[in-house]
Structure 1
Amino acid sequence: MDPQQRQTLINVYRDGLLRDTIPFWCKHGIDRKHGGFFTSLNRDGTIIDTDKGVWQQGRATWLFGELYNNVERREEWLQHAIRGAEFLTQHCYDPVDGRMWFHVTQDGRPIRKRRYAYSECFAAIAYGELALATGENHYRERAIQAFNGFVNHNLNSEEVTSKFTVTRPTRGMGFPMMTIATAQELRQSIGLPDADRWIDRSVATIREFHLKADIQCVMETVGVDGQILDHFDGRTLNPGHAIEGAWFIMWEGHLRGDTSLIETGCQMLRWMWQRGWDQQHGGILYFVDVYGLPVQEYWHDMKFWWPQNESILATLLAYLLTGEDEYAQWHQQIHDWAYSHFPDREHGEWFGYLHRDGSLSSEIKGNLWKGPFHLPRMQYMAWRWLEKDLV
């Protein structure tokens, strides 16, 4: 990657963020009546459902706070973040048990709560950025409260009615992986106490239970002792998720100057790139089977936007931290494939859902799952990493 190539990528990521992605969401996604964000948008940005996913309220609030703190202190961005946080605080908590909803109406009336607690980790990083932006301690307190709610819910799951019986207990990679990312963000924004301890614990869990060197694989779901469960759920791999976790660990290695963490993250990337990259059509597949058997989920071979975003970041970071040409080649592969298929040249932003061959499955720009997060985070971080010259 020579200086000209590096500058070209900087321009693509920076300009895509500031001239395309953020303007799209500022124009179409801001609820100026009730606060918070609309994310269920048609191709041209028109609203097709006014309900709000709580994940996306936290993620969008974090994004605008992050931009305000680290790109430019635009009052517009700060106000979007403040109104997002107000919506979270006023409408997204169940007053009975203190947990957060997953799905609410436009004006914040609750519709659904999930058994897992990921709404809390996105709220935590949102409050953390506002604590940094405003210096107001109540945001810091809410960030810590939300983080504690997230980890306590997962560590004390016996208090929650599970949808599974005790017949086949499992452990998933989602909790330790998201604990790493959330603690990293809160360490930076509010100096979260014990952030390093939570990260160390989570990395150790992933290494012990989810990394399988004998078959060169990152398992998404395993038995409680780390054993592979020879059933659909146990055999199903999520390459994009594992690759996202890989760059979280690489990034921690960079921050600490710990080469063992960098190597663990690179190892995860190598294993799951080989399993997830579609040799026939290009792009990262959504699900694959650990033994190459058919996968149960019907969308297994689709190309969703976010695994491509996370693979762009992971391959780029691996290259910047190691200088190994293989990672630069993979980055070019995934960058070129994603940018030739996902961006909407007419209306802006990215489509979210493609068929395996890269043809468009849906024109939707957002829903309860897709909002202003994976794409703008990828654009922002890739731009900054390239500018900083991390090696």
Structure 2
Amino acid sequence: MRPTQAVGSTGSRSPCRSCDLTLPLQCGNDVTQPSAMVALGKLRRERVLLAEYEAQVKGERVLQAWFTAETLECPLLTLRYHLKEVEEGAQALLLGASLASTACSRPPSLPPLYSAWVACCSLRQPWLWGSFSCLSRNGKLYDELKYLLPLGKQVGMYCRLYRTVERFRRAELLGAAKPGGEFLIRFARVEPPAKKCAFSVTKDGTPVKVQRTLFSESYYTLAMNERWRVTEETRYQNEAVEMLDRIVYWVRVDSSELSWTRFSRTHKAEDLAVPTMLLHLVDQLQEEDEEMSKKYAELEDWGVQRILKHLQAIEAGRYLLQDAQREGDTQLRDQVIDKFLLLPFHSGWDAEHGGFYSFRDVDNWVPHRVEWSARLWWPHCEVMVAFLMGYSETGDPALLKIFIQVSEYSFRQFRDLVYREWYGYLIEDGRVGLSIKGGLYKGCYYNPQCMAMCEQILGALLQRTEDSK
């Protein structure tokens, strides 16, 4: 459903003379204002539209929407709506969206639509605590294995929403994270006390598959740190620190436990994902923790320098932007925006069909990966966060324009308007390639993280606009 058009609006789609953004309603901008502030200032002048929309979208129906609700033309408008206007009826927006992608405990306030996402989880049976992630389009379970990447992400995200977003400070959300965290502690490691974690386990925790990567361990670390932050139980923080220290040992000292084979006579290559993941974990553990900031300061510098050796990657750019912001390093900020945001955007965006290619060859040859032309949900989430963060740091309206462009594509193509939540995998022309809502990698992480971070950044921008009056 679309919101009713505001009274007096012509409905034309002419570009605003000031901000050069094509919007569904006339801006009424004062062209003497900075163009980026005009785009945000417009949001405050759409009270009639917001009032009508609020009358149309009530209670449980808001739970079924992302931060754009049903208005595809102007994501900022609906972000503004959810940021400032939604009250009691929309308090579970992100919770509903996140629960829709994982089988987890169902809070009593969720609508019947989410009854398909219930977990096989019982506090009286610890071996059933871990959530399933392999869910079909309408939420039916199609694989009873438990995959530890989405499980670690889910536990961490529930805790983070609980502690950082006031409207999600709900006992049922924290309660849904507890059994997952305990399952990870008890069953994630293949041969305790060794730290190597499984990739997948049976429903009762028996290891099935182990990968030669460090990502199960990385999201185990994230989950444990978030559990510590909401419970203040030191055993969780001990688990997080011990696991991160072991990951660092594997990466920088001895990787034999991961079964990585190093060939001394071949060219030296380094996976961008490894330093990016380490920088993400350092950022997680350092948050408002002076002791951890000192402990991992050198590792943070190491990760930044390793990432800067690579050509481009928007996800890595987001973490570098956070580092530049924390350090007040404007030179690094500008370098990251040029090299890790704008360059990959212009080379990776499909001008014909829209959306990002999964892989592009730097010399424009066909990539080796057969899924190179697919559209994946998580890079689009990362792009939205990165460009909005870049705009917040620089005030460059070009970055805001790209944020809107990517948002329009993402909410138009990835959202399932029938069963809700997001598809994860599209083919090149934007049609659905896989209709599943959860799998080995897709779970409750990138979508709610993107929504929450965009809401936070926009809130700060809008407050900055108010303060500047």
Is residue 2:424 matched to residue 1:359? Answer: no
Amino acid at match of 1:32: C
SS, match of residue 170 in structure 1: coil
Matches of 1:282 and 1:194, distance apart in 2: 43
Matches of 1:266 and 1:305, distance apart in 2: 22
TM-score (norm 2): 0.73
Matches of 1:23 and 1:162, distance apart in 2: 36
Partner of 2:71: none
Please list the CA deviations of residues 178-208 of structure 1 after superposition, one character each: whole Å capped at 9, or x if unmatched: 111111111116552423322211111222x
Matches of 1:350 and 1:10, distance apart in 2: 21
Contact 1:246 1:314 in 2 (8 A): yes
Q: Rate the CA distance shift 1:150–1:73 in 2: closer, same or farther, 3 A.
A: same
Residue 18 of structure 1, aligned match among 77, 94, 108: 94
Partner of 1:58: 152
Deviation at 1:22, TM superposition (A): 2.6
Matches of 1:345 and 1:89, distance apart in 2: 37
Partner of 2:397: 325
SS, match of residue 111 in structure 1: strand
Partner of 2:4: none
Please list the CA deviations of residues 202-260 of structure 1 after superposition, one character each: whole Å capped at 9, or x if unmatched: 111222x21xxxxxx42xxxxxxxxxxxxxxxxxxxxxxx1011111112222232212
Is residue 2:287 matched to residue 1:202? Answer: no
Contact 1:30 1:80 in 2 (8 A): no
Matches of 1:342 and 1:59, distance apart in 2: 20
Matches of 2:213 and 2:419, distance apart in 1: 35
Matches of 2:255 and 2:179, distance apart in 1: 35
Deviation at 1:163, TM superposition (A): 5.3
Stretches of structure 2 lacking an aligned partner (at least 5 in a row)? 1-38, 44-73, 107-116, 123-127, 465-469
Contact 2:218 2:244 in 1 (8 A): yes
Which stretch of structure 1 is more off in the superposition, 376-385 or 3-12?
A: 3-12
Residue 162 of structure 1, aligned match among 248, 256, 260: 260
Partner of 1:49: 143
Is residue 2:280 matched to residue 1:181? Answer: yes
Partner of 2:120: 31
Residue 92 of structure 1, aligned match among 168, 188, 193: 188
Identity %: 26
Partner of 1:222: none
Residue 254 of structure 1, aligned match among 304, 318, 325: 325
SS, match of residue 130 in structure 2: coil
Deviation at 1:151, TM superposition (A): 1.5
Which stretch of structure 1 is more off in the superposition, 161-170 or 93-102?
A: 161-170
Please list the CA deviations of residues 90-127 of structure 1 after superposition, one character each: whole Å capped at 9, or x if unmatched: 00102253211111112211011111111111111111
SS, match of residue 162 in structure 2: helix
Contact 1:29 1:39 in 2 (8 A): no
Q: Rate the CA distance shift 1:344–1:189 in 2: closer, same or farther, 3 A.
A: farther
Partner of 1:299: 371
TM-score (norm 1): 0.87
Is residue 2:100 matched to residue 1:8? Answer: no
Please list the CA deviations of residues 109-152 of structure 1 after superposition, one character each: whole Å capped at 9, or x if unmatched: 10111111111111111111111111111111011011112221
Is residue 2:253 matched to residue 1:152? Answer: no
Please list the CA deviations of residues 142-167 of structure 1 after superposition, one character each: whole Å capped at 9, or x if unmatched: 11011112221122344243356443
Stretches of structure 1 lacking an aligned partner (at least 5 in a row)? 211-216, 219-241
Matches of 1:325 and 1:151, distance apart in 2: 39
SS, match of residue 433 in structure 2: strand
Partner of 1:106: 203
Contact 1:116 1:154 in 2 (8 A): no
Which stretch of structure 1 is more off in the superposition, 363-372 or 184-193?
A: 184-193
Which stretch of structure 1 is more off in the superposition, 259-268 or 42-51?
A: 259-268
Please list, as runs of the form range in 1=range in 2, the aligned pairs for 1:230-309 lying within 5 A after superposition: 242-267=313-338, 268-309=340-381
Matches of 1:156 and 1:114, distance apart in 2: 19
Matches of 1:158 and 1:316, distance apart in 2: 37
Please list, as runs of the form range in 1=range in 2, the aligned pairs for 1:118-129 lying within 5 A after superposition: 118-129=215-226
Partner of 1:70: 164
Partner of 1:237: none
Instruction: Tell which has more relative contact order, 1 or 2 (C-alpha 8 A, sep 6+).
Output: 1
| Cα-Cα RMSD | 2.1
Residue 143 of structure 1, aligned match among 234, 240, 255: 240
Q: Rate the CA distance shift 1:173–1:384 in 2: closer, same or farther, 3 A.
A: same
SS, match of residue 289 in structure 1: coil
Amino acid at match of 1:162: W
Matches of 2:289 and 2:217, distance apart in 1: 16
Partner of 2:385: 313
| Greater share of residues in strand | 1
